[in-house]
Copies of this chain bind each other. A is one copy, B any other.
Amino acid sequence: MKLHGIFPPLATPFDHNGDIWKVKVQHNVSKLNLTPVGGYVVGGSTGEVVMLTNDEMARAWEWVAEASAPEKILIAGTAAEGVRETLERTKRAAGIGYKVALVRTPAYYKSVVMKPETQMLFFRAVADQSPVPVLIYNFPQVTGIDLSVETIAALAEHPNIIGIKESSGNQEKVQRLALEIKDGFQVLVGQAQTLASALNAGACGGILGFANAAPYAAISIWEAHRTREYAAALDWQKRISRPARLVTAKYSIPGLKHAMDLMGYYGGPPRLPLAPIGPDAKREIEEAFQDIRG
């Protein structure tokens, strides 16, 4: 299962009652189908997954699967804090046709889960029983847990663990993951602003919230890298630095959804306590996306 390229972690469209809006889910996917994205992550942080019930999540998985072009790889975010529920979600997603499970480090019981052996126990138990390959999801800014290179290397020995989404933004760590872990272990990153550097360091792709609004801009970097046009990749990277930061670190999902509305996708409102951004933030985003190729 090759996860090379750019994978948008799909934002979840809600209508003005706050229900998931099937038509818009499928509109976004249809439009992204026309781009060379590698596939879709459904159930990631950008998808407001922690705001959805399990049934809502399953419906979103189905609707995306229906609308997706056949060549796109479907990745489901299935993480829960426990092994049991993570497996239930994973099996449900696999039943719908998802090919990979993206599984976040458990984080709630800090005094226990900060031990590397607890993380290993968790991921091995999940990978042993998962019907589809597992992609580890490391996101310390959110979880407070940062898997070490050594722990990841040990997990990489499991035949059903195929890679990691490393969202720490730590450039040295990406390089070490690529250099020190066995060939074939796939490292994807989560930050569009440093994608070119990460590819240089050995990452094979990105799961980038920004690609919901501007897939071509993200793919341009990846393509330039693939064809060894390093200067072009850097140039693209600099051009997306500000817009990508605005719709992630600075204005988060509400900012991204506004950018999606600008770029011909449906963004719409987030779920509370996320709240739509104000007029100044909107203007800032509009200005930053002016020259970005969707």
Identify the A interface with B (CB < 8 A): 18, 45, 48, 50-54, 80-85, 88, 106, 108-113, 118-119, 121-122, 125, 141-142, 144, 169-172, 175-176, 179, 191, 193-194, 196-197, 200-201, 228, 230-231, 234, 237-238, 241-242, 245, 249-250, 252-254, 271-275
Contact = CB atoms under 8 A, between A and B. Distances in A.
Contacts of A237: 175
Contacts of A254: 112
A48 to B, nearest CB: 8
Contacts of A172: 169, 191, 193-194, 241, 245
Contact of A171 (B80, B82, B122, B169): B169
Contacts of A112: 252-254, 273-274
Contacts of A82: 48, 50-51, 271-273
A218 to B, nearest CB: 15
A142 B272 contact: no
B231 A176 contact: no
A234 to B, nearest CB: 5
B51 A84 contact: yes
Contact of A109 (B84, B85, B111, B253): B253
A109 B252 contact: yes
B51 A54 contact: no
A126 B242 CA distance: 32
A15 B26 CA distance: 42
A194 B171 contact: yes
21 contacts: A48-B82, A50-B108, A51-B85, A53-B54, A53-B88, A82-B272, A84-B271, A84-B272, A109-B253, A112-B273, A113-B273, A118-B273, A121-B273, A171-B197, A172-B245, A175-B237, A196-B200, A200-B200, A200-B234, A228-B231, A230-B230
Nearest to A234: B200
Contacts of A171: 169, 171, 194, 197
Given A111-B249, A273-B125, A175 B193 contact: yes
Nearest to A176: B241
A56 to B, nearest CB: 9
Contact of A110 (B122, B142, B169): B142
Contacts of A191: 172
